[in-house]
Amino acid sequence: MNPFLGYALSGVLLIGIGLYGAIVYGHLLRKIIALNVMSGGIFLVFIALARRAPGVADPVPHAMVITGIVVAVCASAVALVLSVRVAVETGQAALPGDHEDRA
Amino acid sequence: MIALAVAVSCPIWAIVVPLVGAALTMLWPRRATFVGAAATLTTLAVVTALTARIAQTGVQRYAVGGWGAPLGIDLYADGLSAILLAITAAVAAGVSLYGLRYFRAVSVLAYFWTLWLFVWAALNALFLSGDIFNLYVTLELVGLSAVALVALAGGGAALTGALRYLLVSLVGSASYLLGVALLYGQYAVLDIASLGAQVQPDTVTWVAMAAMFAGLMLKTALFPLHFWLPAAHGAAPAPVSAVLSGLVVKASFYILVRLWLQLFPIAVPAPGQLLGALGAAAILWGSIQALRQERLKMLLAYSTVAQIGYLFLVFPLADTVAAQTAWLGVLMFIASHALAKSALFLCAGNILRYYGHDRVHKLGGAARGEPVTFFALGLAGVSLIGLPPSGGFIAKWLLIEAAMASGQWWWVLVMVTGAFLAATYVFRVLGDGLISGTVSARRQVVAPGMAGAALLLALGATVLGFLAVPMDELRQIGWPLVAVRGGQP
Amino acid sequence: MTWGTAVPLGIVLSSFLAGLVIFTLAEERVVLRTTLNLLGAVVKLTLVGVMIVGVLSEQYYTVSLPLLPGLNLVLQADKLSVLFVTLSSGLWLVTTVYAIGYLEDSPHRSRFFGFFSLCVSATVGVALAGNLLTFLFFYELLTLSTYPLLVHRGTEQARQAGRTYLVYTVFGGTSLLIGTIWLYTLTGNLVFAPQGIVAEIAEQHRASLIAIFVLLIAGVGVKAALVPLHGWLPQAMVAPAPVSALLHAVAVVKAGAFGIVRIVYDVYGIGVTADLGLADPLLALACVTIVYGSVRALYQDDLKRRLAFSTVSQVSYIVLGTVIVGPLASIGAFVHLIHQGIMKITLFFCAGNLAETLGIHKVSEMDGVGRRMPWTMAAFTIGALGMIGIPPMAGFVSKWYLGAGALEGGDDWVILVLIASSLLNAGYFLPILARAWFARQTAPWPHERDFGRAETRWTLLLPPIITAALALLMGLFAAAPWSPLAYAQLITADEYGP
């Protein structure tokens, strides 16, 4: 089996886990971590699919993944700041209608 | 002089000018209003020059820093980009004018200008992007700054609304990015035009398309993925709601249009019908929810959910003999909804300030107390319903004509029902305002600039009704010619 | 810009621009507002005069503005549009004078007169529309500009009437819109042309054309108050008297009736309408409306409601004359468009005077009012006798041609409807006249106001006297070359050939 296909499939698995976490968990930190798992999976798919010819790396996906990581870091930072503010304002680290699922 | 005009009309300025404005307002918060006004005027001039240049000389390409694709960034501007840039500029003019007088606290004021100019720059960058990865980056920039704008209002409702919006937005763009990865893996190009030339109807491409469409539908808030929109749009400060409902949801829809027009492999009717059905559900559900709202801003937010549904009716019509009519109709719809809905949100802001509340059934006497705002409310409402004279009328005419010409009369029924419901909720507000009522003692004066900004945008929605022909001429510049789709440009 | 384009544009803009300026005026700028109102009305009437002369000497007036790819907003003058535009512009001048007097000390006058002007701009737009798109455009604008006038009083009752009006007219507008677009996808063309535009495809698309006709007629039938689409009209009488005059005589109802005329003659053509089997059902509907409106009017004690049901009945005479094949009936329809407008506006002015001067709103309160307000009641009498169709009043002329047309078209039974309706008209108008002139005043007037020696304010008295005189003259001099009758004969010659 092509090792790159393996990477790609694990990437897809990570995306699935991340999406599941983002939907199911109520606690904001868990949601944010889940989203990061999800974007990690996407980056893995990117890198795995980008190998054109044997032995030659394609630089374009690298550039894209680096950009993607920067975007993900920024987004996580904004999400964290907002979460803290929400927790201060409403007294719970979850969106209305969700549980904090501390268990 | 000519050299100057050519230099000014370079696409890059439409991004750089508002970006510099944003940076300056951050560095110089005490002068934020002045800098913001100057940046607005300059951007308006630059976008006007660019649009005029596209209209005269056709499609524009510009390699940022001279690097060129694939590693560098290429800007690409055709008629479709020009129309979206122009709509954005028109709404921006109204929002900036409103922003001059709306905010009182200096700190919030400076943040508003920084973020708003940043959103504008990101929107312009999005409309000027020619490859699918740049579209992702710009879409993310628009999303992040829009979230921050929502949070400006402060308080629990706005913060939770903003956070939900952010999380949804991140899932949406992640889904889009997955599609980009799959497409690049398959074809090793990012440029939309080159992709369009190579694209094949195989499994990977379909999965990629599905991922991208799902992500963008979530960001456009198409029913049933609209759950995040009312809270975010309803809780944000009035000018921010205007930007979100008027422009930001249109940005992700614009990407959908680009993908459909240039990338979608070989037409099959099923996806178009599915998107149309979701659009129809959005029209009915959103309108009924709007009817049930007690607060004006929430009413308008649900109305946005409904109006987004109309946009998606273009897809079942886009593969028929009436394709050109349908596309012009949807562009007209984007423009008229952008102007009318932003005008309505600004009106809601004025009413909120005047009465201290925006409860729909307690607006008696509004026509006398705030005549300019109320007149703007009426004009924009007329466009929202789709009655003449307005851009909304022309848009609905074109969409109904396309549905009839292609024999898909069921969409006509949906649109007509939507118009009925829209008339009901618009006149619910107008009827209350026209009857005599007691105005509570705690009313406040609305600055003339705020009422004027709302009126300006509402008049824009009315005048748009006479601009269909020039818009169609602009649209045809660089319009992707897909022979298999039927219909001629 | 030549005269050919400037005149139709000027006719629409004269009131439109005046209206826009009036919106911005402060409440207390009475003199400026009045000047603008009258200036707009006089300029419009002058331009209409120019147009009449031009059209009679085969001048061509047209102006167009691209609205959609391949479809323009077209204003142009043919003989039929001149008929309607003259009626609206003339009666608008009179109504403006009346409204200035009527609203002398009520609030929101700038808003009122602003929408009043927009309303008449939309009406002349309907009259001058050169294609169905333009017609639809101004027809909807008319809906929008009358709504604020209808709810002007700001009471809950007014709001209710406004809501009813909107439900009916939005339904009508939507129906008209769908019909128009459907027609456009079949013909690729929406121009008003003598003998219509659908003759070529009549065989191929028979079923579609019938459905489109139903949609279009339902659309304009709402404003024309065809049964069962008439429900809004009696409710709308809560509006101030000048607005009622506008609704019943100058603008709204007339725009609906005019739309039926346009659709039958210039979109389908009377021949195709009959071939498709559409003329007879419409004729039957018109007859039902005529009888139903009259019967309902008999039982109304509220004067304005009685007049409103009378309008429901009278406007369908126009429809009746339109769908009977043959020139005589068409002449009757065209001439009744004018006659009904002038007679009905007189009656509404008089009803307004009674309400404004004496507080009388009900027929049962009118005992002996002829002695207190002789001029008003004289005008009312002329209008009422005209409506019944007693010679030599104007209404007699229309009914004569309608009856002769029915015989000519082979629909002899219509004569019975006309006779029944005339008897019913007499049944609900003559008791009013008897009470006013011959009964003795039994109770004090409900709410009397003193205007010195005159029976009421002169701005309120002059308009009904003028329109009553016109109604009388049109009947007496129907044979004169400048009468509406002579003009109606000219129009008919175009549809049926010389």
DSSP assignments along A62-79, one per residue: HHHHHHHHHHHHHHHHHH
**Nearest neighbour of B170 by CB, restricted to A35, A49, A52:** A35
Please tell me the distance from the alpha carbon of residue C274 to that of residue C277, in angstroms, as a whole number: 5
Please tell me the distance from the alpha carbon of residue B28 to that of residue B21, in angstroms, as a whole number: 10
Nearest alpha carbon to residue C256 among C302, C314, C303, C197: C314
Instruction: Provide the shortest C-alpha distance from residue C119 to chain B (in Å).
Output: 14
Chain B neighbours, 3+ Cβ pairs < 8 A: A, C
Structure tokens at B381: 């409402």
Percent of residues, chain A, with pLDDT higher than 70: 87
* Residues B269-293: tens digit of each pLDDT: 678 899 999 999 999 999 999 999 9
Chain B residues inside the 8 Å CB shell of A82 = 147, 151, 159, 162-163, 166
pLDDT value of residue B485: 39
- A103 in a structural domain: no
Q: State the distance between the two ends of chain C, measured CA to CA, in whole angstroms.
A: 34
| A-contacting residues in B 66-95 (Cβ below 8 Å) | 70-71
Please tell me the distance from the alpha carbon of residue C456 to that of residue C444, in angstroms, as a whole number: 17
How does strand B60-63 pair with strand C71-76?
unpaired
Please tell me the distance from the alpha carbon of residue B189 to that of residue B174, in angstroms, as a whole number: 19
Nearest CA in chain A to B134: A64
Calculate the alpha carbon distances from B61 to B54, B81, B195 in Å: 10, 12, 17
Please say whether the dihedral angle defined by the alpha carbons of residues C58, C61, C66 and C71, taken in this order, is positive or negative: negative
- Enumerate helices (H) and strands (E) in chain C, giving the number of each: 20, 2
Chain B residues inside the 8 Å CB shell of C171 = 420
* Residues B205-223: tens digit of each pLDDT: 889 999 999 999 999 999 8
Cα torsion for B66, B70, B76, B80, to the nearest 10°?
-170
Calculate the alpha carbon distances from C452 to C368, C455, C456, C458 in Å: 20, 7, 8, 11
CB contact under 8 A, A96 and B166: no
> Band of the pLDDT at A103, cuts 50, 70, 90?
very low
Instruction: Give the CATH number, domain containing residue A35.
Output: 1.10.287.3510
Nearest alpha carbon to residue B477 among B61, B78, B196, B193: B78
What is the value of ipTM here, to two decimals? 0.93
> Which residue type sits at C445?
W
Q: Does B417 touch chain C (CB under 8 A)?
A: no
CB contact under 8 A, B167 and A86: no
Q: State the distance between the two ends of chain B, measured CA to CA, in whole angstroms.
A: 35
What is the domain count for chain A? 1
Touch criterion met for C and A (3+ Cβ pairs within 8 Å): no
Q: Does A69 touch chain B (CB under 8 A)?
A: no
Instruction: Provide the shortest C-alpha distance from residue A60 to chain B (in Å).
Output: 6
pLDDT value of residue B486: 37
Chains B and C form CB pairs within 8 A to the count of 77
**Nearest neighbour of B181 by CB, restricted to A31, A45, A96:** A45
Q: Give the pLDDT of chain C (498 residues) as one tens digit per residue.
A: 677 888 999 999 999 999 999 988 888 888 898 899 999 999 999 999 999 888 888 888 889 999 998 899 999 998 889 999 999 999 999 999 999 888 887 778 888 899 999 999 999 999 999 999 999 999 999 999 999 898 888 888 888 899 999 999 999 999 999 999 999 999 988 999 888 899 888 889 999 999 999 999 999 999 999 988 999 999 888 888 889 888 888 889 999 999 999 999 999 998 899 999 999 999 999 999 999 999 999 999 999 999 999 999 999 999 999 999 888 999 999 999 999 999 999 999 999 999 888 888 899 888 888 888 999 999 999 999 999 988 888 889 999 999 999 998 888 899 999 999 999 999 999 999 999 999 888 888 888 887 777 788 888 899 999 999 999 998 888 888 888 888 888 888 877 765
Please say whether the dihedral angle defined by the alpha carbons of residues B144, B148, B149 and B150, taken in this order, is positive or negative: positive
Please tell me the distance from the alpha carbon of residue B303 to that of residue B286, in angstroms, as a whole number: 6
Please tell me the distance from the alpha carbon of residue B420 to that of residue A86, in angstroms, as a whole number: 39
CB atoms within 10 A of CB C486: 15
- A48 in a structural domain: yes
Interface test with A, best of B73, B126, B150, B159 (most A CBs within 10 A): B159
Tokens 């394709």 map to which residue?
B323
Nearest CA in chain B to A64: B133
Strands (E), A40-101: none
Q: Which residues pair with C62 in a beta bridge?
A: C76
Chains A and B form CB pairs within 8 A to the count of 89
Interface test with B, best of C23, C68, C134 (most B CBs within 10 A): C68
DSSP string, B265-296: -S--HHHHHHHHHHHHHHHHHHHHHHHH-SBH
Chain A residues inside the 8 Å CB shell of B144 = 74-75, 78
Chain B residues inside the 8 Å CB shell of C178 = 400, 412, 416
**Nearest neighbour of A50 by CB, restricted to B71, B162, B185:** B185
Please tell me the distance from the alpha carbon of residue C294 to that of residue C279, in angstroms, as a whole number: 23
Q: What is the pTM of this model?
A: 0.93
Structure tokens at C28: 């207390």
Nearest CA in chain B to A29: B167
Nearest CA in chain B to C170: B420
Q: Which residues contact B84 (CB under 8 A, 6 or more apart)?
A: B127, B250, B254, B334
Q: Does B243 touch chain C (CB under 8 A)?
A: no
How does strand B74-77 pair with strand B60-63?
antiparallel
Is the pLDDT reported for residue A95 higher than 90?
A: no
Classify residue B464 by its DSSP letter.
Answer: G
Locate all alpha helices (DSSP H) within C188-278, ordered by sequence: 206-224, 232-235, 241-245, 252-262, 270-275
**Nearest neighbour of A86 by CB, restricted to B148, B159, B186:** B159
Chain C residues inside the 8 Å CB shell of B368 = 107-108
- A101 in a structural domain: no
CB contact under 8 A, A71 and B137: yes
Structure tokens at B38: 């100057």
Nearest alpha carbon to residue C432 among C323, C330, C318, C302: C302
Interface test with A, best of B150, B170, B195 (most A CBs within 10 A): B170
Chain A residues inside the 8 Å CB shell of B174 = 15, 35, 38-39, 42
- Centroid of chain to Cα B142: 12
Q: Which residues contact C121 (CB under 8 A, 6 or more apart)?
A: C12, C13, C15, C16, C19, C141, C145
CB contact under 8 A, C163 and B472: no
Structure tokens at B36: 């913001």
Please tell me the distance from the alpha carbon of residue B237 to that of residue B142, in angstroms, as a whole number: 17
Q: Does B177 touch chain A (CB under 8 A)?
A: yes
Structure tokens at C369: 């009012």
Instruction: Provide the shortest C-alpha distance from residue A85 to chain B (in Å).
Output: 7
Tell whether omega for the bond before B70 is within 30 degrees of 0, i.e. cis. Answer: yes
Q: Are B474 and B338 in contact (CB under 8 A)?
A: no
Q: Collapsing DSSP states into helix, strand and coil, what is residue B463?
A: helix
Nearest CA in chain A to B185: A49
Q: Please, what's the b/e burial string for B353-363 (b: 16 or more CB within 10 A of its CB; e: otherwise)?
A: bbbeebebebb
**Nearest neighbour of A35 by CB, restricted to B70, B171, B185:** B171
Please give the helix or strand (H or E) that residue B480 lies within, else none. none
Q: State the distance between the two ends of chain A, measured CA to CA, in whole angstroms.
A: 41
Q: Does B329 touch chain C (CB under 8 A)?
A: no
Interface test with C, best of B435, B455, B488 (most C CBs within 10 A): B435
Q: Give the pLDDT of chain B (489 residues) as one tens digit per residue.
A: 566 766 777 888 999 999 999 999 999 988 889 999 999 999 999 999 999 999 999 888 888 777 766 667 888 999 999 999 999 999 999 999 999 888 887 778 889 999 999 999 999 999 999 889 999 999 999 999 999 999 988 888 889 999 999 999 999 999 999 999 999 888 888 888 888 888 888 888 889 999 999 999 999 999 899 999 998 888 899 999 999 999 999 999 999 999 998 887 665 667 889 999 999 999 999 999 999 999 999 999 999 999 999 999 999 998 888 889 999 999 999 999 999 999 999 999 998 888 888 888 777 777 777 889 999 999 999 999 999 889 999 999 999 999 999 999 999 999 999 999 999 999 888 887 777 665 555 567 788 889 999 999 999 999 999 999 999 999 999 887 654 433 333
Q: Collapsing DSSP states into helix, strand and coil, what is residue C74?
A: strand
Please tell me the distance from the alpha carbon of residue B7 to that of residue C394, in angstroms, as a whole number: 73
Instruction: Provide the shortest C-alpha distance from residue C240 to chain B (in Å).
Output: 15
Chain B residues inside the 8 Å CB shell of A59 = 71
Please say whether the dihedral angle defined by the alpha carbons of residues A4, A10, A14 and A20, taken in this order, is positive or negative: positive
* Residues C163-221: tens digit of each pLDDT: 999 999 999 999 999 999 999 999 988 999 888 899 888 889 999 999 999 999 999 99
Domain positions in chain B are 277-480
| A-contacting residues in B 446-475 (Cβ below 8 Å) | none
Please tell me the distance from the alpha carbon of residue C320 to that of residue C226, in angstroms, as a whole number: 11
Nearest CA in chain A to B180: A46
In terms of residue numbers, what domain contains A61? 3-90
Structure tokens at C139: 């027809």
pLDDT value of residue C497: 63
- A81 in a structural domain: yes
Structure tokens at B127: 């409309």
Task: Tell me the Ramachandran region of residue C68: left when phi exceeds 0, alpha when psi lies from -120 to 50, beta otherwise.
Answer: beta
DSSP string, C270-305: HHHHHHTT-HHHHHHHHHHHHHHHHHHHHT--BHHH
**Nearest neighbour of A75 by CB, restricted to B160, B170, B180:** B170
